Amino acid sequence: MDCHIRPETPADHVRVFEVVKDAYETPSEALLVKRLRAEASPLVSLVAEVDRVVAAHILFTPVAIGDAPMGPKTMGLAPLAVHPDYQDQGLGSQLARAGLEACAAAGCEVVVTLGHPDYYQRFGFSLAVEQGISYVGPEYDPFFMVKELVPGALEKYSGEVRYHDAIEEMG
């Protein structure tokens, strides 16, 4: 599928809300994106357009790992949303790759995400617990992933990940 990936702009906010809501079949994640836009900084927020229509969105926000402060060197990927009309066509993969490149260009060293290992391993993610990084409890270990964007960066980070309050409050 031919798409154009670019940074999200304020003009995209209404459509991004619709894309995320429809992708997750509930407004919770869409409301989360809205809150993170207002409260979290810095953000890496990209959209994928197909025929000039926003079809997918990805958001990265700062996280803290262990004793390291929350900031631009460590980011969390959440959420990645593809509108149902555009799913299973490679759009999410293109957007994930572009998002990771944008994070690296912004100086990010490590990205974490909670998701399906089979999906995220194709982008170089591995189980975070194997790197000494965890999230909340052991029930998340099989799904909590980490990717090093700067070689050797994972040697600096260990411990529990803390997301922005908006994500933590979602549970």
Output the domain CATH number for residue 126: 3.40.630.30
Which domain covers residue 147, as residue numbers? 4-170
DSSP 3-state assignment of 22? helix
Spacing of C-alpha 74 from chain mean position? 11
pLDDT the model gives residue 57: 99
Share of the chain above pLDDT 70, in %: 99
110: tokens are: 């490590």
pLDDT the model gives residue 170: 83
pLDDT digits (tens, 9 = 90+) for 117-151: 999 999 999 999 999 999 988 999 999 999 999 99
pLDDT level of residue 96 (50, 70, 90 thresholds):
very high
The model's pTM is: 0.96
Number of domains making up the chain: 1
Query: What does DSSP say about strands 4-7 and 53-65: parallel, antiparallel, or unpaired?
Result: unpaired
Half-sphere exposure of 31 (CA within 13 A, CB side): 7
